[in-house]
Chains A and B, each alone.
Chain A
Amino acid sequence: MLPSELLAVRRRRGVIWPRYASMSDGNLEVASSLIRVYQSHLGEKKSVVKEVIDEIEEKGYDYRFVRGLSFLLDRRSRFKCNDQIDAVGLRRKIYHATGKLGLPTRPEQRRQIIETVAFELKIAPETVEEFSYADLETELVLEEFEPLSPRELLEDYNLSLAQTLLFYSTEVTFTSSSRWQKIFYTIKKLGLIYDAFQDGIFWVKVDGPASLFKLTRRYGTSIAKLLPVIVACPEWAVEAKILWKYTNEICDFKIESSKHQALLRKPSVLTVSFDSVVEEDFAVRFQALATGWLLRREPEPVLAGKHVIIPDFSLEKEGMRIYVEIVGFWTIEYLLRKIEKLKQIDVDMLVLVNENLACEKLAKLEKHAKLSFIYFRDKIPLAPIIHYLEQRFKEVKTKQVGFVKELPIVFTEPVVNYEEFAARIGVSAEAVKAALADRTPQGYTVMSNELVRKDVFEQVRKKIEEQISQKGQLWLSEAIRTVEEEGVKDVTSVLKTLGYKVVWHGINSEKAEIVKA
């Protein structure tokens, strides 16, 4: 983040954006010469460093750009007070001498005071002069500098510009592809309030308590601090309302990974980090088992009324999803509050509770259909979890299969895709398949991914036979086209059911032929 006087922006028709530094040769050259200034001036006074930087500025660059970069480089530097002599103590001696001898208005009076102090401290008069203000900022000496590449400096600068513009924001709306736990934790820590909504994408709007009463920039600084957490994700988009300082006009500021990622510095390395050893250990051991359940860390948040819940993991199999939440330190009150929250959402949730970390003796917890608890001590036990998963999977599947069977539905479409149909009625495709295999609707044939009406099936059979008898042989590509023309996607199953097999003449699929098995 930069001092606000160094913020350079453009505005047009209610849209505002920072004047990002492109990765042009010119800009990279400025960045690299500034970095060199810091590298080559170790041991020099800050005032000297600033003079050299002023010279670069004089060459005709936007002074805000040059000073902005220099500001960022200052933060990578350590300026130290020359500690050979205690400047404050030295000044005290001088002032006292002046108090005693009287304020010097002539050079010889002044020299007398300096010499008195020098004599008293047993140092040279020149040393008195030189070190009396050694602790002033401009007198500090550049002791350490942590270098970076010119490109990194420009990326830092661009991120800082965006953050500085956000100082003037009244609210921000964003989405991101991951790291939700970290993001919501940061929102909370910064004292902001969120409002989440879903329009295909999960969006979060953030402002603060007092934003309700009027537009306020009060939360701008906090919003700016949130930005690095968001842009650390692979994909993200941020839209802020900026209350511009000079005009008091509301402007839109947009920044998104697809357009700006290349300009910005990733704040930290993007490895999936675990909150705790327990979590990491669980994930590693679970994945090693190859259970058929896909484990995902930090799945997309779940809306629970006014709240957002970000479970630690989700486990997915055949369209079924079960969330897993690991509870570390807890009190009964905390657990009950958590359950209250979880009850509001219509998803399966497995809560793993660490008994070692319990703050109170465990009371009987209320049973709830979609909530299950497994207790553990040191290590999360896999056996009961897998048992639970399989049982729940069977339960849900049986229920869904039963549900599909009971559906008073009469199919009329030529082709019914299981997945589409399953999504429509809210069950898994597997359940649909199982139910239909068990009770095939009249007039349809069951394929592995879809139902095909008998007359369509016959139509396909007829066409293929015709083509073979006309041409003597039929290439696979032609057969596929014929089958697809009838609206059937499950080509291979259909051909197989019709009694054909594929004969390959070489590796080229153009040369594959279908023949009666």
Chain B
Amino acid sequence: MIRLWFDKGTLLLKGEVGTPYGKWDPRVGCYRIKALHYRDVLSYFKESVLPYQDDVPNLTALQTLKDIVKLRQYQEEALGKWRNVGMRGVLVLPTAAGKTFIALKAISLLKTQTLIIVPTLDLIDQWRKRVNDHLGIQAGAVGGGEDNVQMVTVSTYDSAYLQAEVLGNRFMFIVFDEVHHLASPGYMQIAEMYIAPYRMGLTATYERSDQRHVLLPTLVGDMVYIASVEELAGEHLSPYVHEKIYVDLTPEEQSVYDKEMSVFNDYLREKRIVLKSIEDFHKFIMTTGRDRRAREALLARNRAIKVALNSEAKLSLLAKQLEIHRNEKTLVFTLHNDLVYAISRRFLIPALTYQTPKEERREILENFRKGDYRTIVTSQVLDEGVDVPDASVGFILSGTGSTREYVQRLGRLLRKVEGKRAKLVEIVSKETMEVRMSRRRRQKTSEGA
């Protein structure tokens, strides 16, 4: 008889038979199979009428779920498409379009051991609360110091990756929140080392600049549904406006900026270095370890960018803008933590960074929801997924050139609240490379979303 069991993120098979999926492992004298192929191997045995013993899954007890999730029409449609393709696939919906509810509905239909994988610890809390509210059970959590597997468990990508050896056979359904992360060289092993036959990927930003999203069909399933911000804005999402305000650097700032940038540019010119792509830039960074002048040039460039991003002129403008919107719930986004804290100290408003203690983070968001706090300044912590329901104004003081980041920040403001009109304002230093970064991030918004 064939016996199949789980071994540290892979399947081992003993018996007088090979499969189209396995590979002979001389180290242990068995066939070894990627956990990803669990479903395929079982159907191969069934089709070939081979008797087998399946010792693979190690599942916790099932609990009874409440099913009180009501879906909107487009959410129903997305779920239906996913169910039609064997419950393996990716749904692309804008932030705030209620992806969570589609996943919760899927869990309540499948009624099986489920792992929800999310990018950040904040999202663990958020999903657990949702599971509790809408499915009526306590969700377990893996990551951030917790290690508690329940019928429905929420984990970060990091923990799911690190613990694939022990968690890989404990779930039959996996929800990949912000699934674009999964395509990275490390995280893709989560898809390969877990057996879950049912898989759902959710994202607002399917494409990756490195093109690795082409791997997602193998890892999760095909893209089965896509809706953009434009399709849903107004009816399902808040309408929004985008504004860009240019500020002049102060004369001192401008002179520092010009001086530092010329150090950098002179060096490039002298060495005939052309920086066209990210790869070119990486190569350049590599040389800075050995070449002292290259490093000085790089540091000069970094100082110039810092001046532009953290300009005092910007902060005065921000003060005026905050004055105008003083009664609205407002988010301020920056690239660097230094600036977050400078703004937090200046305006005495809560700061959220990766250094904010978990409890305080929770408390700040809760007070923001209640309206006790009306302004939050943050770096990248809020970029992904965390719900800040009725924030209606956002200021981007500085960011990378990434479209994804822009879409996600916009997404924070779009959750539908009756009568809300969202506004996203970019504050950009004139005559610096920041102008180009701002243009780049807006370039592909509509496709990206």
Contacts and interface: CB of A to CB of B under 8 A. Distances in A.
A95 B27 contact: no
A209 B32 contact: yes
Contacts of A96: 367, 372
Interface stretch (A56-64, A118-126, A344-352): A56-64
Contacts of B357: 88, 135
16 contacts: A64-B289, A94-B348, A95-B348, A95-B364, A99-B367, A103-B349, A103-B374, A105-B323, A209-B32, A210-B10, A213-B34, A213-B192, A216-B189, A306-B27, A306-B28, A306-B29
B344 to A, nearest CB: 8
A102 interface: yes
A98 B322 CA distance: 13
A193 B283 CA distance: 35
A99 B330 CA distance: 12
Interface string B1-32: 00000011110000000000001011111001
A218 B189 contact: yes
B347 A191 contact: no
Given A110-B348, A194-B27, A209-B165, 5 more contacts: A88-B357, A105-B319, A105-B323, A193-B28, A213-B192
Contacts of B23: 212-213
A305 to B, nearest CB: 8
A103 B347 contact: yes
For the complex of A and B, the 4 pairs showing the least CB-CB separation, nearest first, are A105-B319, A209-B8, A209-B10, A98-B348
Given A103-B374, A137-B355, A212 B32 contact: yes
Contact of A133 (B9, B186, B322, B341): B341
A110 B345 CA distance: 10
How many chain A residues sit at the interface, stated as a range, is: 35 or more
Interface string A104-132: 11000010011000000000000000001
Given A216-B189, A306-B27, A8 B347 contact: no
Contacts of B269: none
Nearest to B323: A105
Contact of B349 (A95, A136, A191, A216): A95
A102 B347 CA distance: 10
A113 B345 CA distance: 12
Contacts of A208: 8
Nearest to A194: B27
Contacts of B323: 103, 105
B360 A88 contact: yes
B72 interface: no
Contacts of A484: none
Contact of A103 (B28, B289, B322, B364): B322
Interface in A163-215: 191, 193-195, 208-210, 212-213
B272 interface: no
Interface in B329-374: 341, 345-350, 355, 357, 359-360, 363-364, 367, 372-374
A92 interface: yes
Interface in B411-444: none
> Which of A63, A103, A306 has most B Cβ within 10 Å?
A103
A111 to B, nearest CB: 10
A246 B286 contact: yes
Contact of B320 (A88, A105, A110): A105
> Which of B23, B27, B282 has most A Cβ within 10 Å?
B27
Interface in A128-155: 132-133, 135-137
A212 B10 CA distance: 10
B348 A191 contact: no
Contacts of A60: 292
B271 interface: no
Contacts of A62: 289-290
A91 interface: yes
B353 to A, nearest CB: 9
Contact of B360 (A91, A97, A136, A195): A91
